[in-house]
Amino acid sequence: MADAFEAVIVGMGPAGMAAAIELCRRGAHVAVVDENPQPGGQVYRRFAQEFTAEDETSLGVNYAKGKKLIEEFWKVGKQCVVLNDTHVWGGFADNQLALRHADKIALIKYKKLLLAEGASERPSVFPGWTLPGVMTLGGLQKLVSREFLLPGKRFLIAGASPLLIPVAAEVLKAGGEVAGICTVVPLGRYLNLFPKLVFQREILFEAIRHAFEIVRRNAPVFSGYTVVSCAGEKRIRKAGIAKLDANGRIAGGSMRTFEIDILAASNGIITMSRLGRQLGCRHEYDSEGLCWQVKTAPFFRSSQADIYAAGDSHVIGGRDLAEWNGRMAGLEIAKDLGRIPADEFNRRLSDNAGRRERLRRYVSTLQRVLSPGANQIGRQDLNTIVCRCEQVTLGDVLSGIEKGCRTMHEIKRTRVGMGLCQGRVCESIVTEIILGKGIPIEEIGYFGIRQPIAPIPIALLERYAAQDARESA
Amino acid sequence: MGKNAADVIVIGGGIVGSSIALRLCESGQSVILLEKGRIGEEASGRSGGGVRQQNRHPAELPLAMEAIKIWAAMKDELDCDVGYRRYGNINYAHSPEKLESYRKTAEREKSIGLDVEILSPEETRYITPFLSDKIPLFGAKYCPSDGTANPLVVPKAIGRAARRKGTEIRENTPVLKLICDRNRVTAAVTEKETYSGNTFINCTGPWARGLCNTIGIDFPIVIKKESVFVTEAIPPIVRPFVDSDWFWFRQALEGNIHIAGEPTKRPVDDFDKSVDFKSFVEVGRWLPGVVPYARKLNILRAFTGLIIAAGFSGHGFCLGPVIGKIVCEMVTAGKSALDISQFRYSRFEEGQSSKEEAIRVN
């Protein structure tokens, strides 16, 4: 029989942990599931448990904030069942979730489900982006600041992302050489952030520290530039950046080339809502953040009964908003479970409302400022790979659209999104390409997601079937 | 003729509806095709992809053999590689009785010109070496001219060809009801418009019963669902479509293996496309025992196909293209050159429909 919980929370980042804390405080029987070995999510990722830090202040704001929340989670969350290293591979009828932990499959049941899967990065796509040595900004950040590994000597840091400046600064601090910081965003646009940053002192100080590091080390910044090529035999050795016009033509004299061994690039942070989609929650497109969000009303309740959403898999807002919303989602679930009266929930809703609203406005300005702009990919070379699993090129996708594909479902006929990553990487790129053809987003839709939402080994299904047969015998 | 009028109104844009529209346009009829969603997205797009002649009901075999001729020419005709490959269809006999019945079927099929043969267990294992030696195997029936095609591509390609030949395709236009006047259908009503024509063709698959009900005809359709599981792409290990009493699998050109086991077929009362947890576990129960190599693979996707008994009972993908030809002849000449008398509507009232006609023949 499947273990049953009052609430199951998918994701142990700030939103998931905060919700678990509030629910456990109210005595609810809770399980928290996460693919990672430790709580923290992406933003509060720890280093491996076997290590300790001599000087924790050198690890930055995220480390300190994360430590506080994780400690609270372990203290209050003692009553909750922590399922780490565990993948959810499907939601099934009767409020059941199928899990995979190490080499086992299990089913659990929920009364209420909170989706707090977090965010992923929107890849930056250019010729050669699938070469070894090219990685996402978040990937490089994880290596440098949490694994303490510098994967190369000379770096090019590129893209339009809130991670751009922090990653460049962290690489410099770790002793890497930054050949260039390249962003398609014009430098002047960053100025729009300052009026909003005045209220976000913590973020402002972080930004100043990073900027100081970059100026001190004299790392060149190329703003208005796009990565247009990378080359190398078995791994990246060279990259070229240039200013592009709307048709993808290189503006005269703007081409710059670098000899580098690591290129980190991504174009922003987008929601990751695979389980929510599979379970049929209604989504709407956020044209600022360029991603789909679970539609919730009035607060964190999705269109599907018993399913809630919070954190960056709901609305991209960063660590603090995720934590706040996670707490409120936890309280709303506690209210719906009858564990707290409705007026307590309503009272808590107005806590910090002003600060929260200012932060929300800052995030939305940040998204506008850092927006890479429409159809970046459409300006790249036609032979650029779009779907790396199935090696589908930009040209293939465009010819699919020419043949009449208008939706994400139909474009799969070109084989995009059909590979082992199940479309995780290429979805936002393909959406951008179709949008660039003037087809409305409502018609384009998203990749439909069915179980299994993560590849499931047949050998594990065999083991489960054998155990199931023994138990029913 | 007005904007919403044509010689023929085809309702439903699956492989059958699209094929009919294509042939009708070629013979000079004006055609409007009304599709509730987009072309080829429902049962046609979720078919197993087999294009098979062997082991069909005697009345169906000539149709399948005629269909194969159309399939063979499809790449040139549609100017699109629909993934059709004649890699054969192999059907295991897990018991001596089954082998005997295959021998009889093979003789009948050979007598009307189908190239089938009975393979020894050794020959069978040579062609499909991944089969577990623990599975009882007495031989197999093999038809080398059978094959597979890509269900994601075919219906859309036929739809595009129909459009090129002049079919007016109206997508996202569900037909709500038909209007009858003195025993003739005179109009198809959608949310916003009314379409009129001389002939109306109902190609709506699982929705056909509901549409017939709007003019007081009961069309006894039963829907079953079959869950198909798809692995990651691997290097080629199997070319023919492998069939048996209780499972089938095939390797797509892209390398993914498509798998279905008979036990996952269950009657459904709606068109639910989801795959339940039990069906996943069932794959774990039988597949590694049949193909031990499967233990090294992952399930990447799963989808549910619809088998519409008294529609085409899971044979519509293979036969679709020839149905276009037959129905076109019926509309333009009053009758088809191929014998389709065994599929007359009155068979339901006469009570002659045998079990094999309703469900898949093996």
Nearest by CB to residue A455, choosing from B152, B281, B299, is B299
A122 residue type, one letter: R
Cβ atoms B110, B50 nearer than 8 A: no
CATH 3.50.50.60 residue ranges of chain A are 3-118+272-349, 121-269
**Substitution target from B33, B300, B303 for chain A, most A beta carbons within 10 A:** B300
Cα dist from A28 to A62, A306, A333, A348, whole Å: 29, 15, 10, 18
Superfamily for the A121-269 domain: FAD/NAD(P)-binding domain (3.50.50.60)
Give the list of residues 6+ apart from residue A403 with CB closer than 8 angstroms, or none: B156, B160
Read off the pLDDT of residues A388-402 as tens digits, 9 standing for 90 and up.
999 999 999 999 999
Q: Which of B154, B148, B143 is nearest to B85 (CA)?
A: B148
CATH 1.10.10 residue ranges of chain A are 382-473
How far is residue A54's CA from residue B296's CA, in Å, rounded to a whole number? 44
Cβ atoms A151, A44 nearer than 8 A: no
pLDDT band at residue A103 under the 50/70/90 scheme: confident
Q: How confident is the model at residue B270, as a pLDDT?
A: 59
Q: How confident is the model at residue B264, as a pLDDT?
A: 56
pLDDT at residue B244 is higher than 60: yes
Give CA A424 to chain center in angstroms. 10
Task: Find the mean pLDDT for residues A343-353.
Answer: 88
Which residues of chain A from 400 to 459 reach within 8 Å of chain B, CB to CB?
Answer: 403-404, 406-407, 409-410, 412-413, 415, 418-420, 422, 450-452, 455-459
How far is residue A145's CA from residue A330's CA, in Å, rounded to a whole number? 31
pLDDT at residue B149 is higher than 90: yes
Task: Find the mean pLDDT for residues A167-191.
Answer: 93
Q: Which residues of B fall below an 8 Å CB-CB distance to A?
A: 38, 41, 152-153, 156, 160, 231-233, 254, 256, 273-277, 280-285, 287-288, 294-303
pLDDT band at residue B45 under the 50/70/90 scheme: confident
How far is residue B194's CA from residue B7's CA, in Å, rounded to a whole number? 14
Closest residue in A to B83 (Cα) is A413
Task: Find the mean pLDDT for residues A441-456.
Answer: 93
pLDDT band at residue B266 under the 50/70/90 scheme: low
Q: How confident is the model at residue A368, as a pLDDT?
A: 87
CB pairs under 8 A between A and B: 97
Closest residue in B to A415 (Cα) is B254
Say which residue, A272 or A98, is predicted with more confidence.
A98
Read off the pLDDT of residues B162-172 as tens digits, 9 standing for 90 and up.
999 999 999 99
> Phi, psi (5° rounding) for residue A149?
-115, 135
CA distance B113 to chain A (A): 36
Task: Check whether the bond before A455 is cis (ω within 30° of 0).
Answer: no
pLDDT at residue B358 is higher than 60: no
Instruction: Show the CA angle centred on residue B22, arms to residues B19 and B23, nearest 5°.
Output: 90
Which of A322-326, A443-447, B342-346 is the least confident region? B342-346
How far is residue B206's CA from residue B221's CA, in Å, rounded to a whole number? 7
CA distance B45 to chain A (A): 10
Q: Which of A230, A253, A252, A226 is nearest to A241 (CA)?
A: A226
Cβ distance A96 to B233 less than 8 Å, yes or no, reads: no
The reply to whether A1 touches chain B by the CB within 8 Å rule is no
Domains and CATH numbers, chain B: 5-65+153-219+314-358 (3.50.50.60), 88-147+222-309 (3.30.9.10)
Cβ distance A390 to B273 less than 8 Å, yes or no, reads: no
Cβ atoms A175, A150 nearer than 8 A: yes
Nearest by CB to residue B299, choosing from A409, A415, A452, is A452
**Substitution target from A449, A458, A471 for chain B, most B beta carbons within 10 A:** A458
Task: Find the mean pLDDT for residues B209-221.
Answer: 85
How far is residue B10's CA from residue B205's CA, in Å, rounded to a whole number? 12
Closest residue in B to A414 (Cα) is B153
Q: How confident is the model at residue A367, as a pLDDT?
A: 87
Which of A67-76, A133-142, A278-287, B40-49 is the least confident region? B40-49
Closest residue in A to B294 (Cα) is A458
Say which residue, B350 or B83, is predicted with more confidence.
B83
Read off the pLDDT of residues A189-232 as tens digits, 9 standing for 90 and up.
888 888 888 888 888 888 899 999 999 999 999 999 999 999 99
Check residue A51 and report its DSSP letter.
-
Task: Find the mean pLDDT for residues A330-352.
Answer: 92
What CATH number is given for A382-473 in this structure? Answer: 1.10.10
pLDDT band at residue B265 under the 50/70/90 scheme: low
**Dihedral, CA atoms, A109, A111, A112, A117, nearest 10 degrees?**
0
Nearest by CB to residue B298, choosing from A455, A464, A465, is A455
A360 residue type, one letter: R
CATH classification of A3-118+272-349, choosing from 3.75.10.10, 3.50.50.60, 3.90.1150.10, 3.30.200.20?
A: 3.50.50.60
